[in-house]
Amino acid sequence: MKIYKTIFYCPLILILLSGCSNDASLVIREIPNPFPSNAMFPNLYQNGDELMISYIHSEGDTLDQLYYCQFDGSQFSAPSKIAEGTDWFVNWADIPAIAFVNNSVIASWLDKSANGNYDYDIKMSISKDNGKSWGVPFIPHKDGVAAEHGFVSIEAIKGGKFQAVWLDGRITKVIDKKGKESHGQMTLRSAIIDSDGTMTKEIEIDNRICDCCQTSLKNTEIGTFVVYRDRSNDEIRDNYFSIFDDNEWSEPQAIHHDEWKISGCPVNGPVLESFGKNVSAAWYTETNGLPEVYLANYSSDIQGFEDPVLVSKENVMGRIDLIYLPNGNIMVSWLEDLKNKKAKIQAKIYDNKLKLVESLTLGETSSSRSSGFPKIVKLKNTVLVCYTVTEPEIRLVTKEINSDLLK
């Protein structure tokens, strides 16, 4: 029995938000899809007008499989298997990553490395033929330590290569002179990965960060940004960013000094998005003792993020995502607790000066961990919103929502 494994059988919902009505009302219709039951933990990656969706399909405690499919705005391709294993670490918050450029596709998953609950490695595989076949899996971190490695973000960069960042626990296990083990600090590391799996510029970005919050990576016109939750010696766990300029990462600095002091990991990382030279970040915090969501724009003039706007403080659970809409506006989404074991997927749209344009509700799901992290992504003139439902039955649903909010 794999007691380390945190599995929730949750389906995926895709909602298509399209600007075609004369008011802000939403018209919803269901779209047939090829996803099987027991599909879970979706991730989306968009490159131009192309979109890939990855997910894990699990058969109890016996077998886990990583699949992907493509979506062109109207049709899904048949799901295709990337990898499978009998000893994976499957978790509601630390999900596989996928990215692609030209005909190269890279995907990651987590594989147990020892008997400890959080002893697992990152595994990656690359396809050179648009996912038709996959290369031999490899481990991007080379420390060989049986510890936590995960929360991967991958982004396509110039030259047909990929930039990857991850939480690396190689120094979390510290052995003193008496042979006693103590807990060291989590680090944030990165590497550039060529289409043949060759790795270069393996760099430690930050030597002390929060142990289990998601990372977010975005290749922008300014440089490649990463955002993550930091951890000071005084247990302040504010969100930080760094920028890669082809050679090295900039000195990490706070997106905003929330001064949230917490002795444990909130499992709620920041998110990042860009549109041309515009870069924005959204994050969860409890600065004032209450859960809140904030949004801020990056300014090249100050080489940092401007003062944020408060997005919400109403029963916030976090699990945030962020996109730029085709018209240049910004959409941020999060989960709002309805206090009856259910949660509302709430969203707000802002203009590029962070003036509120519209508030809307994207759907309802469970407030438990089984609902995972809703995902949103723009595609052509649409927005895809991905989330899970578990009642009245566990099933995979795709829906189209028409609205004028993108005009």
- What is the reported pLDDT for 10? 43
> Are residues 398 and 303 part of one domain?
no
Residue pair 237/262 in contact (Cβ under 8 Å)? The answer is yes
The total domain count for the chain is 2
- What is the reported pLDDT for 284? 98
76 is a domain residue: yes
> Are residues 235 and 318 part of one domain?
no
What are the distances in angstroms from CA 313 to CA 214, 228, 290?
Answer: 21, 21, 7
Dihedrals φ, ψ of 4, to 5°? -75, -10
> Are residues 115 and 64 part of one domain?
yes
> Are residues 170 and 43 part of one domain?
yes
> Are residues 266 and 136 part of one domain?
yes
- What is the reported pLDDT for 19? 43
6 is a domain residue: no
353 is a domain residue: yes
- What is the reported pLDDT for 17? 59
> Are residues 331 and 362 part of one domain?
yes
210 is a domain residue: yes
- CA end-to-end distance (rounded Å), the chain: 52
131 is a domain residue: yes
Per-residue pLDDT in tens (0 to 9) along the chain, 407 residues = 343 444 433 455 555 655 443 345 666 677 777 888 888 888 999 998 899 999 988 887 789 999 999 988 888 999 999 999 999 999 999 999 999 999 999 999 999 999 999 999 999 999 999 999 999 999 999 999 999 999 999 999 999 999 999 999 999 987 666 666 677 999 999 999 999 999 999 999 999 999 999 999 999 999 999 999 999 999 999 999 999 998 899 999 999 999 999 999 999 999 999 998 999 999 999 987 899 999 999 999 999 999 999 999 999 999 999 999 888 899 999 999 999 999 998 999 999 999 999 888 888 888 988 788 988 888 877 788 877 767 766 555 666 666 666 65
30 is a domain residue: yes
Question: How far is the C-alpha of 108 from the C-alpha of 72, rounded, in Å?
Answer: 23
> Which residue type does 72 have?
D
| CATH number of the domain bearing residue 259 | 2.120.10
> Are residues 94 and 38 part of one domain?
yes
102 is a domain residue: yes
Residues paired with 402 in a beta bridge: 18, 27
Of the CA atoms within 13 Å of residue 92, those in its CB half-sphere come to: 19
343 is a domain residue: yes
> Are residues 73 and 183 part of one domain?
yes
> Are residues 256 and 129 part of one domain?
yes
Quote the domain boundaries for residue 250.
Answer: 13-275+379-403
- What is the reported pLDDT for 332? 97
> Are residues 318 and 347 part of one domain?
yes
> Are residues 322 and 241 part of one domain?
no
> Which residue type does 354 have?
L
Residue pair 222/213 in contact (Cβ under 8 Å)? The answer is no
> Are residues 112 and 221 part of one domain?
yes
Match 């996928």 to its residue by tokens: 98
Question: How far is the C-alpha of 268 from the C-alpha of 229, rounded, in Å?
Answer: 8
